[in-house]
Copies of this chain bind each other. A is one copy, B any other.
């Protein structure tokens, strides 16, 4: 006998509030940036205490769905729908080098799969878009004699978007901040990112040739070079700390 007989759910006021609120947002067609009703109004309409409303909104705020501005109101920060799946990721000691490597491993996993899917699914328009981003990136590389994080990022984003699965882009976007905190301070590695440059073109070639496994392999190589760069940077940093 396994666990049939799941624990029953008796009270879940604030959860109900969130569901109702999500329904309201959908019905009103509210989008990011728009203001939702006052806490006091919500409390009155839903026939619950303002306190309960606040607990519910606090959860949404913690999840980054909503922003509260004292004296002004509560504003949507993202699209909400009644059937959302929440996936809070927490990285203990997320400010250190190990945390960056952890996110990079996730990125490698997603980048490889997205490239493979992209090789299968990307339409003509999407393919052209990716190549355009690639050209811009290569142009920037030549001009400034080095990797440019912004253009590089846009290239990868285009691949994620063309994978046909929005989850890739969403997960990576959640980690964007982490990547770029280090990206902007390349740990003393002067030619940071140089090694990864050629793989952008090879990945695109595989995608254009409809070669999923090739694309996957090239993406893996690309992230490997970034990882190497970072490790080298960390070693340098440790060295200069000792100085």
The stretch from A110-118, A126-134, A228-236 touching chain B is: A110-118
In whole angstroms, how far apart are the Cα atoms of A79 and B94 in the complex? 13
The closest CB in chain B to the CB of A96 belongs to: B83
Chain B neighbourhood of A174, CB < 8 A: 85-89
Task: Determine if A87 and B150 form an interchain contact, defined as CB atoms under 8 angstroms apart.
Answer: no
Q: List 12 A-B contacts (CB under 8 A).
A: A2-B150, A62-B86, A65-B90, A83-B93, A84-B92, A85-B91, A85-B94, A85-B174, A86-B88, A87-B91, A89-B167, A106-B168
Interface presence of A54 (CB below 8 A): yes
Identical subunits present: 2
The closest CB in chain B to the CB of A176 belongs to: B87
For A167, give its contact among B59, B102, B117 (CB under 8 Å). B102
Task: Determine if B84 and A171 form an interchain contact, defined as CB atoms under 8 angstroms apart.
Answer: no
Interface presence of A95 (CB below 8 A): yes
**A183 nearest CB across to chain B (Å):** 13
Interface presence of A188 (CB below 8 A): no
In whole angstroms, how far apart are the Cα atoms of A187 and B56 in the complex? 35
Chain B neighbourhood of A170, CB < 8 A: 87, 89-91
**A20 nearest CB across to chain B (Å):** 17
Task: Determine if B59 and A89 form an interchain contact, defined as CB atoms under 8 angstroms apart.
Answer: no
Interface presence of A175 (CB below 8 A): yes
Task: Determine if A88 and B112 form an interchain contact, defined as CB atoms under 8 angstroms apart.
Answer: no
In whole angstroms, how far apart are the Cα atoms of A41 and B214 in the complex? 59
Interface presence of A211 (CB below 8 A): no
Task: Determine if A86 and B90 form an interchain contact, defined as CB atoms under 8 angstroms apart.
Answer: yes
In whole angstroms, how far apart are the Cα atoms of A106 and B65 in the complex? 21
For A88, give its contact among B58, B64, B94, B109 (CB under 8 Å). B64
Task: Determine if B84 and A94 form an interchain contact, defined as CB atoms under 8 angstroms apart.
Answer: yes
